[in-house]
Amino acid sequence: MTTTNSVSALIQALGEIPPEAVIFGHSEGMQALRERLDKVAGANVPVLIQGESGTGKDIIARMIHTLSPWKSGPFVKVNCPAIPGTLLESELFGYEKGAFTGAFGMKPGRVEMAHRGTLFLDEISELDLGLQSKLLQLLQDGQFCRIGAQEDKKVEVRVVCATNRHLEHEIESGTFRQDLFYRINVVNLYLPPLRERRGDIEDLVHYFLEYYNRKYNCRARALSGEVMGLLQKYHWPGNIRELENLVKRYVILGNEEAISSDLVTREQEMFNPDINLDGPISLKKLTRQAVRELERKVILKVLQANHWNRKQSARALSISYRALLYKIRDAGLPSNRTRRRQAELANSTVAAD
């Protein structure tokens, strides 16, 4: 079994992959994932990684390979949606000379290239039913057939799959084979979305800030508490990938407005509460949340329309200036002081350039 210390040493050695504390954070879901990964890495069984886009499924797949006994072999990734369906079969399984028009020579496929290593099929739900049948054969007996070949070839490969969909639903709709699902789902690793591990956001921000400051030779400062509060409240549909891109933009542009204004424009147009159907639902609580969210959006639009002049905005909203200040703080919107500081920083950056 792989120990925690070996995991830590591995991640540090890989360089491009964040440190262990950043990958797994502090949430219960990620800690459970870490334990399962330690156990499964050394076992030659298929692994299915599930989670929304941007949660880090690619990193987990690479860790599984590098912690396995087959780490000296190749890690071959196939991004299934990126390859047109008509080409995917030849990319996966290869072809013989003369198999079709334009096949002027023999070409090995990704499956063959992954011999004695790991084959990572990203977004496996995109495979059509014909390719699913050929993949099933590979998993059952370790054999496949190139296009145009007369005989099957034997290969030793560890298959890791990833998807952002519920494959059970795909089975019900007839787009995914049930027998293949059971084959690839020997061990399931679930990556929770960022909104379910908000306690890790601050550590992720610090890591990306340091990483991109070093990469781009910049000196972007640590984010203020107010902007960090905005990050904590945001719903993160793009998960860690979205957060990374946001911090990268902040490092390059050099002011917090690059984050705060961008987050505001990404806010959902409708209130979309997280409702736990497993327990009692408080209609009053949900109504209060909806009203508060609507009020925040109205205040934000009025502030933007009045170029963040709070006195004019208060008059437009028919509320007192003091009440508007309270609502701005309560909604987690940037204060006037923060915006002045952002403007000064932006001006100083331009002057330095």
Q: How many CB atoms lie within 10 A of CB 85?
A: 13
Which pLDDT score is estimated for 295? Answer: 84
CA distance 136 to 157: 13
Which pLDDT score is estimated for 277? Answer: 59
- Sorted by sequence, the CB contacts under 8 Å of residue 128 that are 6+ apart come out as 85, 88
E strand spans, 170-231: 187-191
Whether the predicted pLDDT of 59 surpasses 80 = yes
Domain boundaries, given as residue ranges, for the chain: 4-192, 195-352
CA distance 287 to 273: 10
Residue written as token pair 């800030």: 209
pLDDT tens digits for range 135-183: 999 999 999 998 888 889 999 999 999 999 889 988 988 999 999 999 9
Higher pLDDT, 259 or 88: 88
Which pLDDT score is estimated for 330? Answer: 75
E strand spans, 294-339: none
The fold of the 195-352 domain, in CATH, is: Helicase, Ruva Protein; domain 3 (1.10.8)
- Calculate the CA dihedral of residues 185, 188, 192, 193 and round it to 10 degrees: -30
- Sorted by sequence, the CB contacts under 8 Å of residue 50 that are 6+ apart come out as 57, 162, 163, 164, 167, 188, 189, 190, 191
CA distance 326 to 225: 17
pLDDT tens digits for range 278-330: 566 677 777 777 777 788 888 888 888 777 888 888 888 888 888 888 888 77
**Residue 64: exposure state from Cβ atoms within 10 A (0-12, 13-18, ≥19):** buried
CA distance 294 to 173: 37
Within this chain, domains 4-192 and 195-352 share the same CATH topology: no
Share the mean pLDDT of the chain: 83
- Could you confirm whether domain 4-192 is CATH 3.40.50.300? yes
Q: What percent of the chain has pLDDT over 90?
A: 49
Answer whether 156's CB lies under 8 Å from 142's CB: yes
> What are the tokens at 237?
């549909």
